[in-house]
Structure formats: structure tokens, C-alpha cells
């Protein structure tokens, strides 16, 4: 499981703190605004694609095509990741998680999809980074590689700890979908 340090300000570079703090407010029971998700998408470098995706989410055919592209890209990322022989079963298990995750989105069960996405991202980080993804300084490590990639893995670490997000259980579907689309859009364009 990825680890996050004790607070937004300790992990995130200064330029990301405002958008990240509004996306996952600490100690607040109010959910983030849709404006906060757009600001975070801009920081991730996917702002235009994210806005386009948010606009098609009501069109079943277009969202179906997008989810197919997402699944194909994620499958490719997983399959092309080199792992030790001992981790092949882990890699295959992750491949098996993707179709049910997409089904949750299609059924509009966004809360459960966010939880599953957090697990998928934890496993994906392990495939990409090995044991480094299990260390306390993992997010800082990814920021040193690339700022936007670090921001993405920080987002993933937050989803991996959804139980600590007090507002998530009562969030409306639109907010949950918006937060979910951030990661889906990023990985589709990865």
C-alpha cells in the first residue's frame, strides 16, 4: 500500500497544494467542488481531456468507447510491465480486476469504483515501482521523477485511503464520478 506523509503541505510541491487541498479537504466533512476537480486536472496536465470527458459522461456510447480505450490502455500498461517471476500472479490478478472495475463505472456505482480504483492503483504502483511503492516516502520519490506523475500517485494514495475521507460516503454521484474521471483520464493518456 502506498504511504503518504503527514499532510498535504509536507508531500506536495507548493504549486499543487491549493488544488490538492481543495480536492481532498483534510478534517472537513464537506465534499470537494467540481471546480476543485477541474483545477486538479489542470495541475495533472489533463485539463482539456478531463473537461471533454466530463461533458460526455451522460452519452452512453461515447463513455463506453472511452472506457474501452481506458481498459485497453490499462491492460497494455499492466501487460508490458516487467516483473519478477514471483510477481506474475500479482500482475495477472490485477489484469483480472480491471473488467469488474469498468463494470462498476458502467453501473454508476462510483463509490465502490473509487474504492476499487484505489486498490488497482496500489497494485499498479507496485508493478511500476516495486518495493519502493511500499515505502513511506513513495509519493515524494515520484515527485522527484516527474511532478505531474508524482501528483497522480499522490491522488492514488488518497484513493487508497478512502476510509479516511470523511465526506466520501455522503458525496453525490457527480462528485464521485468527477474524482474518478481524474485518474481514468490520466491513465488513458499515460
Question: What pLDDT score does 168 carry?
Answer: 75
What's the chain's average pLDDT? 86
Buried b (16+ CB within 10 A) or exposed e, 132-166: ebeeeebbbebbeeebebbbbbbbbbbbbbbeebe
Confidence of residue 118 (pLDDT cuts 50, 70, 90): very high
Segment 81-90 shows an average pLDDT of 85
More confident residue, 171 or 127: 127
d(CA 159, CA 41): 15
Taking the domains of the chain in order of start, what are their residue ranges?
8-21+32-188
Q: Is the pLDDT of residue 1 over 50?
A: no
Residue 157 has φ and ψ, to the nearest 5°, of: -65, -35
Q: Is the pLDDT of residue 4 over 70?
A: no
How many CB atoms lie under 10 A from the CB of residue 62? 14
More confident residue, 53 or 166: 53
Which tens digit of pLDDT belongs to each residue from 129-184? 999 999 989 999 999 999 999 999 999 988 877 656 667 777 888 889 999 999 99
Question: What pLDDT score does 75 carry?
Answer: 93
Which tens digit of pLDDT belongs to each residue from 59-75? 678 888 999 999 999 99
Segment 93-101 shows an average pLDDT of 96
Question: What pLDDT score does 3 carry?
Answer: 44
- CA dist 82 → 86, 115, 120, 128, 156 (Å): 11, 26, 17, 8, 21
Q: Is the pLDDT of residue 7 over 60?
A: no
More confident residue, 91 or 3: 91
Amino acid at each position: 500500500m502506498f504511504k503518504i506523509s503527514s499532510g498535504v503541505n509536507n508531500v506536495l510541491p507548493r504549486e499543487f497544494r491549493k488544488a490538492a487541498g481543495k480536492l481532498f479537504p483534510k478534517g472537513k466533512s464537506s465534499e470537494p467542488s467540481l471546480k476543485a476537480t477541474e483545477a486538479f486536472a489542470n495541475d495533472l496536465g489533463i485539463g482539456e481531456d478531463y473537461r471533454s470527458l466530463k461533458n460526455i459522461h451522460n452519452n452512453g456510447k461515447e463513455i463506453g468507447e472511452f472506457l474501452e480505450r481506458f481498459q485497453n490502455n490499462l491492460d497494455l500498461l499492466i501487460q508490458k510491465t516487467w516483473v519478477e517471476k514471483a510477481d506474475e500472479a500479482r500482475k495477472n490478478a490485477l489484469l483480472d480486476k480491471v473488467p469488474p472495475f469498468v463494470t462498476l463505472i458502467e453501473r454508476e456505482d462510483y463509490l465502490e469504483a473509487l474504492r476499487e480504483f484505489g486498490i488497482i492503483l496500489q497494485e499498479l504502483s507496485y508493478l511500476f515501482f516495486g518495493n519502493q511503492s511500499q515505502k513511506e516516502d513513495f509519493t515524494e520519490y515520484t515527485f522527484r521523477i516527474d511532478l505531474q506523475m508524482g501528483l497522480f500517485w499522490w491522488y492514488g494514495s488518497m484513493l487508497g485511503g478512502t476510509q479516511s475521507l470523511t465526506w466520501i460516503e455522503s458525496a453525490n454521484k457527480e462528485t464521485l464520478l468527477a474524482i474518478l474521471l481524474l485518474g481514468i483520464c490520466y491513465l488513458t493518456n499515460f
